[in-house]
Structure 1
């Protein structure tokens, strides 16, 4: 069987990062994607979808450091079904994407002083995607979550920065 999803869009919210007891990072956010089409009456319409994303390991740390709400990204991963019981006892479920590869879209000129993307993006970036970061298959050691809730600095060389 094959389970592969590829999405391009804007992050709908900032990444929420947490660390497991073993020190592995888990990042959660959502992506907003849209499509434009003409209705049967000829009217232009736009359909927007919001899909939850989960990043693991080094990918989660890089995404947390460089991406913010509105950042343009291309992700691929697998579709998962999350199920839980709500406080009222009802069974709930939703589909989400477990990200395996992340590509940050946009150029270095669109990055602000704090590493957040501005709103503009050239359309030719789909032809020449930037380097992707693969989520590691084995958990990696990561800094323990600090009690003062500050975002840990990530030791990254200039060669690893995708812009």
Structure 2
């Protein structure tokens, strides 16, 4: 009897210590910076019982030259465009993005990556990657603004 009682106490102690270990929080980083052009005018959506969100797409480009190295002026230039979905939940930033971000604008978006799932209109489960914006910097590339 004494042995079974000590085994039970030991199990509770181990269980207690393992739950305490789960409470230790480690620092981690989930940060993204994207510099590119807006692909569509933002839309604002609101799902029942949730705060509204402003959504737009952002294109980033990667360019490289094929040939005898990066410093060579010979070879073909190739480009890859990557499209990113940006969601803005922050109340003040959400409204600014909705009113001032326009298709073709050059902007810098800072935020974090978010992965999720949704069911499309054909009832197929899909995965989505979204940038949750914390900050948007509006950049001008208008020739009149450079002089």
Scaled by the length of structure 1, the TM-score of the pair is: 0.60
**In structure 1, what is the equivalent of residue 99 of structure 2?**
65
Q: State the alpha-carbon separation in 1 of the partners of residues 50 and 122 from structure 2.
A: 33
Cα distance, 1:21 vs structure 2: 6.0
SS at match of 2:104: coil
- Specify every segment of 5 or more residues in structure 1 that has no aligned partner in the other structure, as ranges: 111-118, 123-163
- Rg larger in structure: 2
Q: In the superposition, relative to structure 1, how do residues 50 and 89 fare at CA in structure 2: closer, same or farther (>3 Å)?
A: same
Number of equivalenced pairs: 112
CA positional deviation for 1:29: 0.5
2:63 matched to which residue of 1?
Answer: 36
Deviations 1:46-68 (A, max 9, x none): 11011000012111100111121
1:94 to 124, 128, 131: 128
Tell me, yes or no, if the aligned pair for 1:81 and 1:94 is still in contact at 8 Å. yes
1:74-113 mapped onto 2 (5 Å cutoff):
74-106=108-140, 110=142
Q: Deviations over 1:89-111 (max 9, x none)?
A: 4321021100011111117xx4x
Give the 3 Å change call, closer, same or farther, for CA 21–90 of structure 1 in structure 2.
closer
Q: Which residue of 2 aligns with 1:133?
A: none
Are the structure 2 counterparts of residues 121 and 23 from structure 1 closer, same or farther at C-alpha, using a change threshold of 3 Å?
Answer: farther
Alignment root-mean-square deviation, CA: 2.5
Describe how 1:1-163 pairs up with structure 2 within 5 A.
1-19=28-46, 24-40=51-67, 42-56=75-89, 57-106=91-140, 110=142
1:86 shift after superposition: 3.0
Supply the distance in 2 between the matched residues of 1:82 and 1:96 (Cα, whole angstroms). 8
CA-to-partner distance for each residue in 1:14-72, whole Å, 9 max, x for gaps? 00013466784410011011011013583100110110000121111001111211111
* Cα offsets for 1:94-153 (capped at 9, x unmatched): 21100011111117xx4xxxxxxxx8886xxxxxxxxxxxxxxxxxxxxxxxxxxxxxxx
